[in-house]
Copies of this chain bind each other. A is one copy, B any other.
């Protein structure tokens, strides 16, 4: 059994080569470029961990790990176009560096290449894995569409936001684990519990991400605290405040979003604190973390085999930076 850090190192070694043909370089260099600007590689390592929970790591798990990381990068290239984002991880986005047309096509090629890594897996696993992959890939697209739809709306319910986050973020984490488990010979029951572990962990992770944007330590957070507030982004915190604050506070929130005063972040944060949104968010995060860990408990393998996943969950969700 390996720790997350060990598998991450092994994956980086395995993944750190060119995944595309040389020519036409105008298409494939941009695709390769985004793979070189880093990333946490959480999804592929989850696939490997889901696999190792049941058996020695199978060669197919490596192919699927590469496939999910390519899929994730495909979605980043296209999402960055839609969000008109100039930077990702402090570097130029693909469309900003190479133009929108090439970025569309490089994303397409990345998605096809993800399927070509699935093609490499053995026939006995191919059909099941392809089915899970397709279902997840469609859900991620649906999540991105809902995210764009919500930006145009004044209000979004907590339930709607939760559903969007689940599709856009959680299902790929969950499915990475499940595909690894299936390759490891997991029973359907075990595979589904592992999927639910990943799905709930993903929601907890997003709640924390929203929380840190408002209440994180600027020195540790690595991006501008209050960025979501400045851009009027709908987050767990903002939606809960809009749903639960008293009438006067709701009115103030609306005005702050319309008028963008220079002390907007401080004022919104003080409304959040008055409405105890910070405590609510931490409780909600913990409840999803507990749901996740409950499903991990239900996976019928020796407790010690689950140590690495338990540690990873704690690391991902309880960080304060």
Name the B residues within 8 Å of A144 (CB-CB).
105
Query: Which B residues touch A131, using CB under 8 A?
Result: 119
Residues facing B in A117-139 (CB within 8 A) are 118-119, 123, 126-127, 130-131, 134, 137-138
For A82, give its contact among B105, B142, B148, B149 (CB under 8 Å): B105
Query: Given the known A-B contacts A111-B108, A119-B127, A141-B109, are A101 and B26 also in contact in the complex, defined by CB atoms under 8 Å?
Result: no
A42 to chain B, nearest CB (A): 22
Pairwise interchain contact A109-B127, C-beta atoms closer than 8 A: no
Which single residue of chain B is at the shortest CB-CB distance from A24? B145
CB of A64 closer than 8 Å to a CB of B: no
Closest chain B CB from A178 CB (angstroms) = 16
The reply to whether B81 and A104 contact each other, CB–CB distance below 8 Å, is: yes
In contact, B101 and A148 (Cβ under 8 angstroms) = yes
Contact of A24 among B116, B126, B130, B146 (CB under 8 A): B146
Indicate if A306 sits at the interface (CB-CB under 8 A): no
**A interface majority secondary structure:** helix
A137 to chain B, nearest CB (A): 5
Contact mask for chain A residues 171-194; partner B; CB cutoff 8 A; 1 contact, 0 none: 000000000000000000000000
The distance in angstroms between the C-alpha atoms of A144 and B109, with both chains bound, is: 11
Q: Which of chain B's residues have a CB closer than 8 A to the CB of A111?
A: 108, 111-112
Bound-state CA distance A109–B23 (Å) is: 26
The answer to whether the Cβ of A199 comes within 8 Å of any Cβ in the partner chain is: no
Copies of this chain, whole number: 2
Other-chain residue from B123, B130, B142 in contact with A115 (beta carbon distance below 8 A): B130
Residue of B nearest to A121 (CB): B127
Interface residues of A in 277-302 (CB under 8 A from B): none
Q: How far is the CA of A111 from the CA of B71 in the complex (A)?
A: 13
Residue of B nearest to A109 (CB): B141
Question: Within 8 Å CB of A107, what residues of B?
Answer: 108
The answer for the CA separation of A50 and B157 in the assembled complex, in Å, is 52
Q: A115-B130, A127-B126, A148-B101 are in contact. Are A27 and B78 (CB under 8 A)?
A: no
Within 8 Å of chain B (Cβ to Cβ): is A162? no
Once A123-B123, A145-B24 are accepted as A-B contacts, the answer to whether A134 and B105 lie under 8 Å apart by CB is no
Q: Is the CB of A82 within 8 A of B109?
A: no
List A residues at the B interface (Cβ < 8 Å): 21, 23-24, 26-27, 78, 81-82, 101-102, 104-105, 107-109, 111-113, 115-116, 118-119, 123, 126-127, 130-131, 134, 137-138, 141-142, 144-146, 148-149
